[in-house]
Amino acid sequence: MPLKKVLFLTLKVFGFTGGIEKVCRTICRTLYDLSEEELVDPMTYCMYDQSYDRDSRYLKKHQYRGFGGNRKYFVVKSLLTGLKSDVVILSHINLLSVAYLIKRLRPSTKVYLIAHGIEIWRKLPEAKIKALKRLDKIIAVSHFTAEQIKSAHHLSEQKIEVLNNCLDPFYHFPSIFSKPESLLHRYGLRKDQVILMSLSRLVATEKYKGYDNTIAILPRLVKNNPNLVYLLAGKSDEEEHARLEKLIEQHQIRDHIKLIGFVDEAEITDHFLLSDIFVMPSKKEGFGIVFIEAVASGLRVVAGNKDGSVDALKNGELGYLVDPDNLNDIEATLKKILLSLPNQEEKMVLQQKVFETFNYEKYRNGIKNLIFNGAVKPADS
C-alpha cells in the first residue's frame, strides 16, 4: 500500500509556547511516528518559524520547513505541495484560504481543520464560512468549541468531530512533589506558605481568564489563610500590567500577590510543584492544556464551568468546576480545597487519572483514524 502523503500547515510550532503551538508539536510527533510505521509520508510547513527552530524530538529535518514570515512563498509552496497530497491538515482557521484553493483544484484531497476556540467561533466573513463548508471535517478540541462552531456558523453535525487535546508526548511527570528551593528563593517565598497560581497571557483585550475574580476574593481568603500567596504568571502588556497594579492597590493585597511575568516552558512543571492550587475560572477557553498539565503535576485545579475547561477537567472528575461569574462559588470552592490539600499519594492518583484520559497514544490514534478513515473515531465506536 503506498504511503499517504500528508501536509500539515501551521502558523507557529516551535517559536512560541502557547496551547495551539503545543497541539501543533503533538501532531508533528504523530506524523513522525506514523512515518516510522511506514504509513505516511509527512511534511510540515510553518509560516512564521524558521527551519532551524525545529525540535528533533517531534519530526525529522526533511519533514519540516519554516518560512520565517514569508507569507507569499508559504502560500505558493503550500498550494503546490497540497495539490500532490492525499491529506492536508490545517492548524488554524487563518490558513483556510490555502485549503480552499487546494480543495477547489483537487477535490479528492481530504482537508481537515483543527478548531481551538475563539478564533473560529467569533463572527467570520462570508467567504470564510463558505470555505469552512468545503472542508471534509472540522476537528474541535472540546465539546464546547464544537457547539460554538455549530451555533455561530450553522454547520452540520456531520461536519464536526471532537478530539480532545492531550499531554505532550514528552511531558515530564514529577514523582516527588516538594517545592523547588530555587523558585522559593527567586520569589521570596517560604515552604509553609500556601500558593495559588494562574498561568495565562495577561492582555488588556482578553479579560475572560478569570484572574480578576481571583484577585477580588483574595482579601477574604487571606483572612483565614494569612500565609496565602497568589502567583499570577504570564507575559503582560503595559496596559494590563498597569490595570493589575491598580487592582492590587485597590484590594490592599500587595503582600499576598506576585506578578511573576513570563514562565519559560522548561520551568512550567517546577512552578506547578511550587504551587498548591491552580485557579483559572475562565469563560472562553477552547480547551485549556494548562489545566491537564497542572493536574499531571499533582495540583488541585479550579476552572470555569461554561467553556472548554469542562472537557479538560473531565466534567469535574479531574478538578473543580465553578461558575466563573459567581465570586461566592469560587471563594467557597477554594476554601474547601484549602481545608484539605492533597498528600503525595493523592497527587499520584490525580496523575494517573489525567494520564489515562489525555495520553498521547489516544490522541495519536485519533489523528491516525482521521488520516485513514476520515473520522477521529472508528465507525463502530
Q: Are residues 186 and 71 in the same domain?
A: no
User: Looking at the domain assignment, is residue 108 inside a domain?
Assistant: yes
Task: Give 41's DSSP letter.
Answer: E
pLDDT tens digits, one per residue of 333-367: 999 999 999 999 999 999 999 999 999 999 999 99
User: Looking at the domain assignment, is residue 62 inside a domain?
Assistant: yes
What residues make up the domain containing 201? 181-357
Q: Are residues 75 and 49 in the same domain?
A: yes
No. of H helices and E strands in the chain? 15, 13
User: Looking at the domain assignment, is residue 176 inside a domain?
Assistant: no
pLDDT tens digits, one per residue of 226-264: 999 999 999 988 889 999 999 999 999 999 999 999 999
Q: Are residues 156 and 207 in the same domain?
A: no
Strand partners, 115: 140
Whole-structure pTM value: 0.94
pLDDT at 361: 97
pLDDT at 2: 81
Q: Are residues 51 and 157 in the same domain?
A: yes
Cβ proximity of 259 and 236 under 8 Å: yes
pLDDT at 16: 84
pLDDT at 202: 86
Instruction: Indicate which CATH number applies to the domain containing 232.
Output: 3.40.50.2000
pLDDT tens digits, one per residue of 32-88: 999 999 999 999 999 999 999 999 999 999 999 999 999 999 999 999 999 999 999
Please state the rounded mean pLDDT for residues 22-30.
98
Cα–Cα distance, 377 to 8 (Å, whole number): 20
- DSSP 3-state assignment of 113? strand
Q: Are residues 351 and 363 in the same domain?
A: no
C-alpha dist (Å) from residue 187 to 59, 233, 268: 37, 12, 15
User: Looking at the domain assignment, is residue 369 inside a domain?
Assistant: yes
Q: What number of other Cβ atoms are within 10 A of residue 308's Cβ? A: 29
Q: Are residues 9 and 27 in the same domain?
A: yes
pLDDT tens digits, one per residue of 139-167: 999 999 999 999 999 898 899 999 999 99
DSSP per residue over 298-309, as a string? T-EEEEESSSTH
Q: Are residues 349 and 338 in the same domain?
A: yes
Which strand (E) or helix (H) includes residue 8?
Answer: strand 4-10
Q: Are residues 247 and 317 in the same domain?
A: yes
* Number of folded domains that form the chain: 2
Q: Are residues 254 and 155 in the same domain?
A: no
Q: Are residues 114 and 156 in the same domain?
A: yes
User: Looking at the domain assignment, is residue 154 inside a domain?
Assistant: yes
User: Looking at the domain assignment, is residue 380 inside a domain?
Assistant: no
Cβ proximity of 293 and 303 under 8 Å: no
Helices (DSSP H) in the chain: which residue ranges? 19-36, 71-82, 96-105, 118-121, 126-134, 143-153, 181-187, 211-224, 238-251, 268-274, 289-296, 309-312, 327-339, 344-357, 360-373
Angle at 25 between CA 20 and CA 27, to 5 degrees: 95
C-alpha dist (Å) from residue 363 to 46, 108, 317, 370: 21, 25, 20, 11
Please state the rounded mean pLDDT for residues 182-205.
92
User: Looking at the domain assignment, is residue 378 inside a domain?
Assistant: no
Strand partners, 139: 114, 161
The three three-digit cell numbers of residue 379, written as one number: 465507525
Nearest to 259 by CA among 322, 298, 211, 326: 211
End-to-end CA gap in the chain: 25
pLDDT at 303: 97
Q: Are residues 187 and 128 in the same domain?
A: no
pLDDT tens digits, one per residue of 285-305: 999 999 999 999 999 999 999
pLDDT at 379: 61
pLDDT at 117: 93
Q: Are residues 193 and 315 in the same domain?
A: yes
User: Looking at the domain assignment, is residue 261 inside a domain?
Assistant: yes
